[in-house]
Amino acid sequence: MKDEFDWIKSITPQHSFQKELVAGIGDDAALWSVNEHMDQVVCVDTMVEGVHFTRDTLSSYQVGFKALAVNISDVAAMGGIPQFYLVSIAISPDWNEEELKEIYEGMNELAKTHKMDLIGGDTVSTKGPLVLTVTVIGKVEKGRKLLRSYAKPDDIVFLTGTTGESAAGLDLLLLKTRHAVFTDNEKKWIHQHQMPIPHIEQGRILANSGYRISLNDVSDGIASELNEIAESSNVTIHIQRDKLPVSSSFAELQENGRLTHQLYGGEDYVLVGTASIEDFVKLTEAFQQHSLSLYEIGKVGEAGKTAVYLHKKNEEPELLAKKGFNHFRER
Amino acid sequence: MKDEFDWIKSITPQHSFQKELVAGIGDDAALWSVNEHMDQVVCVDTMVEGVHFTRDTLSSYQVGFKALAVNISDVAAMGGIPQFYLVSIAISPDWNEEELKEIYEGMNELAKTHKMDLIGGDTVSTKGPLVLTVTVIGKVEKGRKLLRSYAKPDDIVFLTGTTGESAAGLDLLLLKTRHAVFTDNEKKWIHQHQMPIPHIEQGRILANSGYRISLNDVSDGIASELNEIAESSNVTIHIQRDKLPVSSSFAELQENGRLTHQLYGGEDYVLVGTASIEDFVKLTEAFQQHSLSLYEIGKVGEAGKTAVYLHKKNEEPELLAKKGFNHFRER
């Protein structure tokens, strides 16, 4: 999840006292050097009841699963391997012990997949809504070249999965609650919202390639994430409507309806980025070998200017604003 | 701050998937190995408005200062050097931008002292009280021998500072608010509650000694912390009332009044621990060389039994319960 209070970024100090520090504030994860082979990576994300979820959108188990998933996704965007996590939870009186256990079980389920150890935390009470903060620590080989700021003109813009399902799922959940009856396609959207799978394996292939790659995980929608890459790299980015991958579960939808979700819907936690044309060809092979998807959706344009355009056949390119996914606020 | 929900500890899984893991759940900080010389240490603590502070007990600046201080204190208890911190804040509508800036300024002030970099975080909104979660990452030399479980029979029990002032300060703040007029002594207590100084330098001397030392930071009161050491080490601990160091600001108080604060008052963030008699003599010299206090307050008794006793002249020893400092709950 991205900061909703941008001004805080401007006031937060960045000393760089520590010479081990490789990358500081700005990305969703920070890196520091720990030995000659590896950097350590850390990220923290908070989920608040009533802001990021309600009891109608997520079960207790899913609250835990998702809180860890969004953090692991930040590690994926650095090409890292998640190792440890810490859980700080502020508990309101209306959550019972059984529900709290389910939150931890949801985290544990995903942690097992990645062989991550729960190594600490804090448990406090609050009179307000439940607040769940997860810190994930991982590692990544030195010399990986994955940063938002690495995009260059003529790079291919890629996606590691389809987007939009999570937002479509959230729409349904807010309309009907998770206890309603849904079609098979609707169940897929809802599942994507409730239990997103972070793209660690994809991030690892990208990191291990050694190629210069710009990368973000899609927490706020690809329009917003690509704008971040464009800003950090100071380039324009052009994506093609007809190249955007469409989930099979969206097949019955009108294009305009699903396009908004695909561009602006957040919380799919696939990876979006850019690589040079030659490197992209080799990445495509590597992804195929692992039976993983890699979609070409556009190209980086010129340097020295920051913008993201959506191109449609026989139409003027459309400027894509940075507007992202604001959880329940806009709904 | 200690867990208020002990049952969560029993349900939290501990996989130990990661071979780098040196110490897991149980202590307030976790360690893992990053290179042949150093271990990394991490801890997380959460402060909730209305539970750990109110606008009447702490200024915004002090909220920030203290939130970082309690985390740094956990690193001190491991003998570590704090390096980085991450801040996750859930903001309620009744905190304005100026106040939030002051929270970050308070953290920054203490961070500068320790040359710590702010390397990330998350900023979200909540409809409930403000929730501030700080993660601190530090490092410590391999081979340091500081753990709660290291106490042995005949060890000297020591304190690195006086206790009780913070609790006395909180009593006053809850009674009169921080805007009242106070005596000079009262101001000292209040300051100790609002802006505790973590004992990093003391922890470093203890770690660098290479001696076997059991150690805790005093967040919940020495009765509680010594009971933790007694439990982890499976020993009895005997402390002498007449040896407990008394802050000069307590000189005018009745002994019984201050004794409760000294034993059960939390949040002083000095260090309490044990070392062998010979090592304690050398530690005393080292502390003197650094103009730092080190008080002998008792001895470790027998192994195989867990209890903490307070000895008073001409009286039966008193069993000290694990009851600790429960912030605002008992008041």
pLDDT band, very low/low/confident/very high, at A145 (cuts 50, 70, 90): confident
Residue showing tokens 């501990």: B14
Residue contact A90–B48, C-beta within 8 A: yes
* φ/ψ (deg, to 5) at A274: -140, 150
Residue from A222, A164, A225, A220 nearest A193 by CA: A164
Average the pLDDT over each of A22-26, A252-256, B92-96, B105-109 and give the range with the smallest value: A22-26
Closest residue to B124, CB basis, from A32, A51, A123: A51
Rounded CA-CA distance A20/A35 in Å is 10
pLDDT digits (tens, 9 = 90+) for B294-319: 999 999 999 999 999 999 999 999 99
Q: What is the pLDDT of residue A1?
A: 40
The mean per-residue pLDDT over the stretch B237-252 comes to: 95
DSSP per position, B290-316: TT---EEEEEEEEES--EEEEE-TTS-
Tokens, residue A174: 């807010």
Give the pLDDT mean for A193-212: 97
Helix then strand count (H, E) for chain A reads 9, 13
ipTM of the complex: 0.91
For the record, the structure tokens of A194 come out as 């409730």
Q: How many residues does chain A have?
A: 331
Distance between CA atoms of residues B139 and A36, nearest Å: 16
Q: Is A301 annotated as a binding residue?
A: no
b (16+ CB within 10 A) / e for A238-253: bbbbeebbbbebbeeb
Range with the lowest mean pLDDT among A155-169, A170-184, B23-37? B23-37
Q: One-letter amino acid identity for B249?
A: S
Spell out the alpha helix ranges (H) of chain A.
Answer: 6-11, 60-76, 97-113, 165-176, 184-194, 200-209, 222-233, 255-264, 277-289
Lowest-confidence region among A17-21, A286-290, B133-137: A17-21
A295-317 tens-digit pLDDT: 999 999 999 999 999 999 999 99
pLDDT given for residue A5 in this prediction = 65
Contacts with B84 (C-beta within 8 Å, 6 or more apart), sequence order: A18, A21, A30, A32, A42, B116, B117, B118, B119, B136, B137, B138
Minimum Cα–Cα distance from A33: chain B residue: B34
How far apart CA A109 and CA A69 sit, in angstroms, is: 11
Provide mean pLDDT across the span B141-163: 94
Q: What is the mean pLDDT of residues B227-234?
A: 96
Per-residue confidence at B22, pLDDT binned at 50, 70, 90? Answer: confident
The mean per-residue pLDDT over the stretch B118-122 comes to 91
pLDDT of residue A3: 47
Task: Flag if B124 and A24 touch (Cβ within 8 Å).
Answer: no
For residues B71 and B79, give the distance between their C-alpha atoms in angstroms, rounded to a whole number.
Answer: 13
In terms of Cβ atoms closer than 10 Å to its own Cβ (0-12, 13-18, 19+), residue A4 is middle
B321 close to B221: Cβ distance less than 8 angstroms: no
- State mean pLDDT over A25-41: 82
Going A295 to A301 to A304 to A308, the CA torsion angle's sign is negative
Are A123 and B11 an interchain contact pair (Cβ–Cβ within 8 Å)? no
Looking at residue B214, its pLDDT comes to 96
Within 8 A by CB and 6+ apart from A233, the residues are A148, A149, A150, A151, A152, A214, A274, A300, A303
If DSSP codes are grouped into helix, strand and coil, which group holds residue B99?
helix
Mean pLDDT of A195-201: 98
For B108, which of A13, A30, A89 is closest by C-beta distance? A13
Q: Is A28 annotated as a binding residue?
A: yes
**What are the structural domains, with CATH classification, of chain A?**
6-141 (3.30.1330.10), 148-319 (3.90.650.10)
Can you name the residues that pair with A271 across neighbouring β-strands? Answer: A217
Q: Can you tell me the mean pLDDT for A158-169?
A: 97
Contacts of A15 in chain B (CB under 8 A): 111-112, 115-118
Structure tokens at A133: 């903060």
Output the DSSP codes for B193-213.
HHS----HHHHHHHHHH---B
What percentage of chain A has pLDDT greater than the value 70?
A: 91
**pLDDT tops 50 at residue A24:** no
The tokens describing B97, both together, are 């931008």
Q: Residue B25: its pLDDT value, please? A: 42
Mean pLDDT of A5-33: 68
Residues of B in contact with A127 (CB under 8 A): 50-51, 128-129
Q: What is the tens place of the pLDDT at every residue in A88-135?
A: 999 999 999 999 999 999 999 999 999 999 999 999 999 999 999 999
Cβ contact, residue pair A101, B11, below 8 Å? yes
The predicted structure's pLDDT at residue B1 = 40
Of B8, B34, B111, the CB nearest to A100: B8
Q: Please report where in the chains the tokens 């030392």 appear, as a residue.
A: B213
**Pairs from A251-257 (Cβ < 8 Å, separation ≥ 24):** A252/A185
- Confidence at residue A125, expressed as pLDDT on a 0 to 100 scale: 94
B121 is in an annotated binding site: yes
Handedness of CA A263, A146, A22, A85 (dihedral sign): positive
Assess whether pLDDT exceeds 90 at residue B275.
yes
Note whether A188 and A165 are within 8 A (CB): yes
In 3D space, the residue among B137, B74, B85 whose CA is nearest the CA of residue B112 turns out to be: B85
Question: What is the reported pLDDT for A17?
Answer: 77
pLDDT at B143 > cutoff 90: no
Going by pLDDT thresholds of 50, 70 and 90, the confidence category of residue A163 is very high
Q: What does the pLDDT average to over B142-154? A: 92
In this prediction, residue A183 carries a pLDDT of: 97
Share of chain B above pLDDT 90, in %: 82
Query: What are residue B88's DSSP bridge partners?
Result: B122, B133
DSSP state of A5: -
pLDDT of residue B330: 47
Identify the pLDDT of residue A257. 83
* Average predicted confidence (pLDDT) for chain B: 91
Q: Is A134 helix (H, G, I), strand (E, B) or coil?
A: strand
**What's at B29, amino acid-wise?**
A
Coil vs helix vs strand at A14: coil
Q: How many CB pairs under 8 A join A and B?
A: 241
Q: Is the confidence at residue B4, as pLDDT, over 60?
A: no
Identify which of A12, A91, A72 has the alpha carbon closest to the alpha carbon of residue B86: A12
